[in-house]
Amino acid sequence: MKRTLPAAISLASFALFAADPPAMKEGLWSIHSTSIDNPGNKKVDGTRSICRNHEYDLRIRQQAEAKQKQICKTYTETSSGNTMTVEEECNVQGSVSKSKTVTTFGGNSSVHAETHATYTPALYGTAESTIIQDQKYTGACPAGMQPGDFMDASGKITHVNRP
């Protein structure tokens, strides 16, 4: 499936890690995402799982922060209790993305994030996007899965970063 979700939204959701969220449980995490792109009210909804550990989380956070520093500037980053809010502006392929991400942590076993972004000019035909993502710890990773591996809704495993 071709997905035109701009990179800026993905980076916006990673930017929240700059304020040191709680260490998440190691194991299998279910991730349910809903995105709505406008104009056109184009909705994409799906669930997949990822095997994670602390080393994997740190590596991904560092990669995202390095990329984010190249193309984005953060306006505000606040934390209150278990909620973090990040507002930033990114330059992506000639478009300026302004986004706000609000992330709520349920201890170390769940995360709810909502990102709203606008694009000027529209990026791949998208002028505005909203992403709602719920992640929850579901248990140990199945045999054969390593940190970074994904499992789609049908149970198919995609191995990532293997030699």
In this predicted structure, what is the pLDDT of residue 3? 39
**60 in a domain, yes or no?**
yes
Phi-psi sector, 118: left (phi>0), alpha (psi -120 to 50), beta: beta
pTM value is 0.84
96: which residues sit within 8 A by CB, 6+ positions away? 89, 90, 119, 120
Assess if residue 1 is contained within a domain.
Answer: no
163 assigned to some structural domain: no
Instruction: State the total domains in the chain.
Output: 1
Task: Using 50 as the pLDDT threshold, list the residues of the chain that sit under it.
Answer: 1-18
Question: What count of other Cβ atoms lies within 10 Å of the Cβ of residue 56?
Answer: 18
- Whether 103 is in a domain gets the answer yes
Domain for residue 94, yes or no? Answer: yes
Look at residue 110 and tell me if it is in a domain: yes
Quote the pLDDT of residue 35.
Answer: 96
Instruction: Give start and end residues of each alpha helix (H) in 17-155.
Output: 54-71
pLDDT at residue 20, rounded to an integer: 64
Which strands, in side-by-side order, build the sheet including 83-92? 72-80, 83-92, 95-105, 110-123, 126-139, 27-38, 42-52, 150-152, 157-158
Q: What distance, in Å, lies between the first and last C-alpha atoms of the chain? A: 25
Does residue 2 fall inside a structural domain? no
Q: Is 30 a domain residue? A: yes
Residue 1: its pLDDT value, please? 34
108-145 tens-digit pLDDT: 999 999 999 999 999 999 999 999 999 999 999 999 89
* Residue 29: domain span: 7-158
CA-closest candidate to residue 77, choices 28, 18, 136: 18
- Among candidates 94, 117, 161, which has minimal Cα distance to 8? 117
Which residues of 56-109 form beta strands (DSSP E)?
72-80, 83-92, 95-105
